[in-house]
Amino acid sequence: MKVFLSKAEAMGEVPVEKCCIEISGDIPVCDKAWKLHKFYRQQAETLCDALQATLPGGTVDSLLAELMERKASQLRVAI
């Protein structure tokens, strides 16, 4: 799958570089839950850094809202 998005505009003299994100690696086999948590945290931070450095602020804000909305729907329970 390929996804194409618009990058942010330059801030003054500082250009915004293009970014290519490839999602293809395997999740490592871990014997401890904290190791897997650390792996996921590092992956999330790396992705966040790339997105925040290249996407327009409005896209970042909308992405955060969309992720939260999708996750919240998974946490709903019937009353």
pLDDT digits (tens, 9 = 90+) for 8-47: 999 888 899 999 999 999 999 989 999 999 999 999 999 9
CB 54 within 8 A of CB 18: yes
Give the separation between CA 1 and CA 45, rounded to whole angstroms.
22
Phi-psi region at 20: left, alpha or beta (left = phi > 0; alpha = psi -120 to 50): beta
Exposed/middle/buried for residue 41 (C-beta within 10 Å: 0-12, 13-18, 19+): exposed
- In this predicted model, what pLDDT tens digit does every residue of 57-71 receive, in sequence order? 999 999 999 999 988
Q: Who wins on pLDDT, 74 or 17?
A: 17
Whether pLDDT at 75 is above 80: no
Q: Who wins on pLDDT, 13 or 76?
A: 13
Give the separation between CA 53 and CA 15, rounded to whole angstroms.
11
> Taking the model in full, what pTM does it have?
0.81
